[in-house]
Amino acid sequence: MTPNQRTIDSKPIPFMDRRAAIGRSLQYAALTLSMPTWAAFENQSSQETLVPFLDMPRTRPNRLDWEMLTDWITPQDQVFNVQHYGMPEIDLDAFRLTLDGLVNKPAVLGMDQIRSMPKKEQLMTLECSGNGSSKGFMDAVYNSRWGGTPLAPLLQQCQPSSEATEVVFYGADTKEEVLRPGTNRELKIEVPFGRSMTLKEAMALPLLLAYERNGAPMEHRNGAPLRLIVPGYYGVANVKWLTRIELRDRRYMGRYMARDYVTVRAREQDGEIIHEETSVGRMNLKSIIARVTQRPLGQGKVALRAYGAAWGDGTPIERVEVQLNDGAWQQARWDESSQTSPYCWRFFWMDLGEVGPGDHTLISRAIDQKGRIQPSAEDDEIALKKTYWEAYAQWPRQIRIES
């Protein structure tokens, strides 16, 4: 396996101890002048310096660097990758997309044909549903302008038969899966990575067959030559190296639809605990504080400011609130430099006023137009969730102001 073929690393990343964090704050102090700015902050002060988080893992290549976040569209060198079956080798000349199954007009399309179809751009924040499940896995999210052709008209051209209810998307990456391992019913099957949705959903969502990211040809690691883009859904639905779209009349139960990326939640009903298992699909409302800065006020006091991002399933986010220590929730301001698009994150910022030396905790929560509030780790919605997928709880950030 080459380093590129590694799937996400589930081992915890070593965390900085206190001394290292202080060392880092000194290192940042020296970097003051080059600290990135978010364009909209009219009143951003040149005296602002970064207050490093005490619990932030080291920045890794090809991952989002929250504290240095500047761009609304994530630069390619901060884009993470997940591929459960490794990266497939693809012969670009021989590459074809097949649309078959319960359609009256199956199609086999080369990339030239796909590129000659009507082009559309779709802005979308893509997040792995495991992102936020631990301190070591907080950086698997990125925002892009995807370019490609909409799927719905193409499906229509293939004339789905009246029995078709399900659309399955397969990647070129395959692996041997073992069912009922270690039993006398053990079964080994070679399967492609696959995900599905109902035909109704596939026609209603603005799905895109994408071949560009940010106006440039998409990179192989992001799914080139062709990937599915599913606005409002977690990363797993966005099948890379898309080679086949199959229509059928029964549910697809592949590993990443039905056995893995399954969320288990407990719920009490009539005094009994019921466990619900659902396939990871639509994204949840989420926000995070990305960066905290301080500005000296004299006599050991500083003024704190927090910057962050909020995103969800496409429902407009009404507001983000920030809490300092055990204080009241205060409404943050939107960063007007970042665009607004329903399927993308929005950047926010908030002045938190004056604080003294010591440790402080900052938390953010998003609230959407349906009235949903991003839950805390203690709320049943999260506390009774048994699996780590869909990690959208409020995330407390710890900082230390040195005396």
Ligand X SMILES: Nc1nc2c(c(=O)[nH]1)N[C@H]1C(S)=C(S)[C@@H](COP(=O)(O)O)O[C@H]1N2
135-174 binders of ligand X (CB under 6 A): 171, 173
Give residue 244's Cα distance to chain centre. Answer: 24
Between 10 and 156, whose beta carbon lies closer to ligand X?
10
Which helix (H) or strand (E) segment holds residue 380: the answer is helix 380-383
User: Tokens 């920045």 — which residue?
Assistant: 59
Among 143, 136, 142, 6, residue whose Cα is nearest residue 60: 136
**Dist. CA 347–CA 125, nearest whole Å:** 12
**Cis-peptide, bond into residue 225, ω within 30° of zero:** yes
171 binds, among Mo ion, ligand X, none (CB under 5 to 8 A by kind): ligand X
User: Does residue 235 interact with ligand X by CB under 6 A?
Assistant: yes
Region from 28-36, 74-82, 92-100, 113-121 binding ligand X, contact rule CB under 6 A: 74-82
Q: Which two tokens stand for residue 40?
A: 């909209």
**Dist. CA 159–CA 388, nearest whole Å:** 39
Site string for ligand X, 100-139 (x = CB under 6 A): --------------------------x-x-----------
Work out which of 63, 240, 244, 291 binds ligand X, going by CB under 6 A: 240
3-state secondary structure of 169: strand
Q: Which two tokens stand for residue 245?
A: 């779209």
Q: Classify the C-alpha dihedral 251-256-260-265 as positive or negative.
A: negative
CB of 151 to ligand X, least distance (A): 16
Work out which of 239, 344, 362, 393 binds ligand X, going by CB under 6 A: 239
User: Does residue 387 interact with ligand X by CB under 6 A?
Assistant: no
168 binds, among Mo ion, ligand X, none (CB under 5 to 8 A by kind): none
Strands 187-198 and 120-127: unpaired
**Dist. CA 49–CA 296, nearest whole Å:** 9
Region from 13-21, 70-78, 82-90, 299-307 binding ligand X, contact rule CB under 6 A: 82-90
User: Does residue 389 interact with ligand X by CB under 6 A?
Assistant: no
Q: Taking CA 121 as the corner, what is the angle to CA 116 and CA 254, rounded to the nearest 5 degrees? A: 85
Q: Residue type for 355, please?
A: V
Work out which of 78, 81, 149, 364 binds ligand X, going by CB under 6 A: 81
Site string for ligand X, 185-224 (x = CB under 6 A): --------x----------------------------xx-
Q: Residue type for 2, please?
A: T
Q: Which residue is nearest to Mo ion (CB)?
A: 128
85-144 binders of Mo ion (CB under 5 A): 128
Give the number of other Cβ atoms within 10 Å of residue 32's Cβ.
13
Under rule CB under 6 A, how many of the chain's residues touch ligand X? Answer: 20
Positions touching Mo ion (CB under 5 A) are: 82, 128, 235-236
Contacts with ligand X by CB under 6 A lie at: 79-85, 126, 128, 171, 173, 193, 222-223, 235-236, 238-241
